[in-house]
């Protein structure tokens, strides 16, 4: 190493390792890279050989209802070469040319991240025999290249944070999975539904157009809202509704291509904005337990509610109703690794928090001040929100029992 500070630290480390009876071997950086590359090439060749033995080329899935449960599909290609964009003045996307005598399609997933919903849709659609390619939405040029190379019959966006390029949605059918009911528009859809106390919510599959979340609807599903955290709702009700809506929409693509079915335009709600911390800020002196819990639930997982504990700003998570009373805003005591804090008409238990520059941890591990708090005895279990009880139907698709 050229840096004397780094060299000194490494020498100190090596001295300590030798004092423990360990042997220290130094390698040149170039030698390490060369040997690592050689090992990786061997591993890659072995994996590729195993893959080809276990996954011989198969004919396309022709008709019937029997899926390919173990069908292996290629992962996303990584296009890097430039292409020219065709910006013909079209009012509707070109209809895809589907494979004849086959229900299997090439579907390109355009997503911001490979989150739980995207993973679930990948598994379900792969099991139905579709060929899936995944492309992360990095920028317009990479997306356009991915479409040019994969030549999909359909583009599906399970999780996006920006608009699909016009050069793509004018030439291809692009379906957006929106975690909201028909007509809902804008980001933070599930957050607002929880905060506003919606009794029913849903998922809408709509076609991408110039205006955000304003395209015609291909399919939709609804479900009753539980009093639960956002992450629980998203991974259960939202995900299952999305699977149903997406499979319904894909099933309508052949009719759309034949000109016998068209997606429906719907009345649109006002566009809601991205939820900010000021929208979910807790006023401990005025907010009831129900309101405090709704604000915590709609921010669960990410980004949390910005608040303060023991005089320090932090993000708080994982709130539950707790049977206690006290001065609103006061920390009443400790229960387990969380703390109990009084609201205007009761109290909530706060399980986790995160300070700036840290990670999300139980409150007791972040703030040593909890050690001096009195442990509140729990005589009865507080009422908990109902768990989601789902299951697969006879076709292997998860459905809500409600």
- pLDDT tens per residue, range 97-150: 555 434 789 999 999 999 999 999 999 999 999 999 999 988 899 999 999 999
| pLDDT above 60 (res 293) | yes
| CATH number of the CATH domain containing 334 | 3.10.25.10
For residues 256-271, give the mean pLDDT.
88
- What is the percent of the chain with per-residue pLDDT over 70, rounded to a whole number? 75
**Phi, psi for residue 347 in degrees, rounded to 5:** -160, 160
* Residue 172: domain span: 106-273
Pairing of strands 217-224, 200-207: antiparallel
Does the pTM of the predicted model rise above 0.75? no
Q: What region, left, alpha or beta, does residue 129 occupy, with left being phi > 0 and alpha being psi -120 to 50 degrees? A: left
Residue 54, pLDDT score? 64
**Phi, psi for residue 350 in degrees, rounded to 5:** -110, 120
Rounded CA gap, 107 and 156, in Å? Answer: 7
Q: Would you say residue 395 lies in a domain?
A: no
Residue 212, pLDDT score? 81
Same domain, 142 and 174: yes
Report residue 341's pLDDT band, with 50, 70 and 90 as the boundaries. very high
Same domain, 282 and 265: no
Residue 360, pLDDT score? 93
Number of domains in the chain: 3
Closest to 214 measured CA to CA, from 269, 156, 155: 269
Would you say 121 and 158 are in contact if contact means Cβ atoms under 8 Å apart?
yes
For residues 238-259, give the mean pLDDT.
95
| pLDDT above 60 (res 239) | yes
**pLDDT tens sequence across 174-219:** 999 999 999 999 999 999 999 999 999 999 999 998 888 888 999 9
Pairing of strands 331-335, 106-111: unpaired
Residue 390, pLDDT score? 53
Report residue 36's pLDDT band, with 50, 70 and 90 as the boundaries. confident
| pLDDT above 70 (res 28) | no
Report residue 85's pLDDT band, with 50, 70 and 90 as the boundaries. very low
Would you say 203 and 179 are in contact if contact means Cβ atoms under 8 Å apart?
yes
Residue 393, pLDDT score? 52
DSSP run (H or E) holding 116: helix 116-127
Q: Would you say residue 127 lies in a domain?
A: yes
Q: Would you say residue 289 lies in a domain?
A: yes
Q: Is the dihedral of CA 385, 300, 325, 380 positive or negative?
A: positive
* β strands within 153-237, DSSP E: 154-157, 174-178, 200-207, 217-224
Rounded CA gap, 293 and 227, in Å? Answer: 9
What pairs with residue 174 in β-bridges? 155
| pLDDT above 80 (res 57) | no
| pLDDT above 90 (res 245) | yes
**pLDDT tens sequence across 349-362:** 999 999 999 999 99
Q: How many CB atoms lie within 10 A of CB 209?
A: 20
Same domain, 258 and 127: yes
Which has more confidence, 56 or 79?
56
| pLDDT above 70 (res 332) | yes
Lowest average pLDDT, out of 85-94, 134-143, 155-164, 346-355, goes to 85-94
For residues 332-355, give the mean pLDDT.
94
Residue 48, pLDDT score? 74
Q: Would you say residue 124 lies in a domain?
A: yes
Same domain, 292 and 267: no
Same domain, 224 and 357: no
End-to-end distance of the chain based on CA atoms, in angstroms? 64
Same domain, 186 and 159: yes
Same domain, 41 and 130: no
Residue 117, pLDDT score? 96
């Amino acid at each position: 190493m050229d840096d004397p500070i780094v060299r000194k630290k490494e020498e100190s480390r090596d001295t300590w390792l030798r004092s423990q009876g360990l042997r220290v071997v130094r390698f040149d950086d170039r030698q390490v890279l060369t040997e690592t590359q050689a090992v990786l090439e061997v591993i890659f060749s072995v994996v590729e050989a195993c893959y080809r033995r276990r996954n011989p080329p198969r004919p396309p899935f022709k008709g019937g209802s029997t899926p390919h449960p173990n069908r292996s599909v290629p992962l996303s290609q990584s296009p890097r070469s430039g292409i020219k964009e065709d910006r013909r003045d079209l009012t509707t996307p070109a209809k895809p040319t589907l494979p004849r005598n086959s229900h299997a399609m090439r579907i390109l997933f355009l997503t911001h991240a490979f989150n739980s919903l995207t993973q679930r849709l990948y598994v379900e659609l792969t099991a139905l025999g579709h060929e899936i390619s995944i492309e992360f939405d990095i920028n317009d040029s990479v997306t356009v290249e991915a479409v040019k190379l994969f030549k999909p019959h359909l583009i599906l966006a399970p999780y996006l944070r920006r608009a699909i390029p016009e050069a793509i949605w004018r030439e291809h059918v692009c379906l957006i999975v929106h975690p909201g009911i028909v007509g809902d528009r804008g980001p933070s859809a599930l957050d607002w539904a929880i905060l506003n106390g919606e009794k029913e919510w849903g998922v809408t599959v709509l076609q991408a157009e110039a205006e955000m979340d304003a395209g015609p609807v291909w399919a939709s599903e609804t479900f009753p809202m539980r009093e639960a955290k956002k992450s629980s709702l998203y991974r259960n009700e939202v995900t299952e509704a999305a699977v149903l809506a997406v499979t319904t929409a894909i099933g309508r693509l052949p009719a759309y291509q034949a000109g016998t079915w068209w997606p429906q335009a719907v009345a649109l709600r006002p566009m809601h904005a991205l939820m900010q911390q000021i929208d979910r800020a807790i006023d401990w002196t005025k907010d009831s337990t129900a309101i405090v819990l709704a604000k915590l639930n709609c921010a669960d997982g990410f980004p949390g509610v910005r608040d303060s504990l023991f005089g320090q700003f932090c993000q708080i998570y994982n709130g539950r109703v707790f049977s206690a009373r006290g001065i609103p805003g006061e920390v009443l005591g400790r229960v387990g690794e969380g703390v109990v804090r009084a609201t205007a008409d009761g109290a909530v238990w706060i399980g986790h928090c995160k300070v700036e520059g840290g990670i999300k941890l139980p409150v007791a591990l972040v703030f040593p001040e909890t050690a001096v708090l009195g442990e509140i005895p729990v005589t009865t279990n507080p009422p908990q929100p109902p768990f989601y009880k789902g299951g697969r139907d006879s076709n292997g698709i998860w459905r809500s029992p409600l």
